[in-house]
Amino acid sequence: MNLQRQLLEESLEIVKPNASEFSSLFYKRLFEDYPETKPLFAQTNLEKQEKKLIASLVLIVENLRSPEALQEALKSLGARHYQLGTLEEYYPMVGDALLKTFKAYLGEKWTQDREKAWIYAYSVICTLMLEGADSPEAYLDGELTFYEWLDLYGEYDPALMKTIAELTRFKYTKQKKSN
């Protein structure tokens, strides 16, 4: 996966210290521009969810070096989204809101190269998620979740585990030993 990791990382590094602010701007933009996506989040604790999107993007970019794990993780994430009621047509809406938020947030630092890298990365992420959404039965019910895939086969990073534990409902049942 030639996803220009450095360009993706650089833009996330700028956003990371203010991840909550970035994410809340993202949801504001999404719900304003695409109100049809709002009902999906009716039961959602938005404060936690706001952090999940950026945390999952960081996870994805950090795991670009483990493409095998990432592919399976993203397929299972797509299957989970199918289960949550995410239609295929919502993916470009989220992509558009994400790019607009990056642009507004990074200003001059939102270079053409960074924009291109994100457009491409987002399309790869969506393709894999939609592959999982196409056959959810293969990825749900007993299969590993997005986080478990990354935990088992991705790079082991205690900081990452802490982020996941803090930001998501996911509980580690198969945590690796750091010896």
Nearest approach in angstroms of CB 46 to ligand HEM is 9
Residue 148 to residue 79: CA distance in whole angstroms: 14
Complex with ligand HEM: residue 75 or 80, whichever CB lies closer: 80
Nearest approach in angstroms of CB 176 to ligand HEM is 20
Residue 130 to residue 79: CA distance in whole angstroms: 8
List, in sequence order, the alpha helices (H) in the chain: 5-15, 19-33, 46-62, 67-84, 90-106, 112-134, 146-153, 158-167
Complex with ligand HEM: residue 85 or 107, whichever CB lies closer: 85
Q: Which residues bind ligand HEM (CB under 6 A)?
A: 37, 40-41, 43-44, 49, 52-53, 56, 77, 80-81, 84, 86, 90-91, 94, 125, 146, 168-169
Nearest approach in angstroms of CB 47 to ligand HEM is 12
Complex with ligand HEM: residue 57 or 178, whichever CB lies closer: 57
Sign of CA dihedral 41, 46, 49, 51: positive
Complex with ligand HEM: residue 65 or 108, whichever CB lies closer: 65
- Measured distance between the N- and C-terminal CA atoms of the chain, rounded to whole angstroms: 30
Sign of CA dihedral 26, 31, 32, 33: positive
Nearest approach in angstroms of CB 15 to ligand HEM is 14
Nearest approach in angstroms of CB 108 to ligand HEM is 25
163: Cβ contacts below 8 Å, ≥ 6 apart: 55, 58, 59
Complex with ligand HEM: residue 7 or 178, whichever CB lies closer: 7
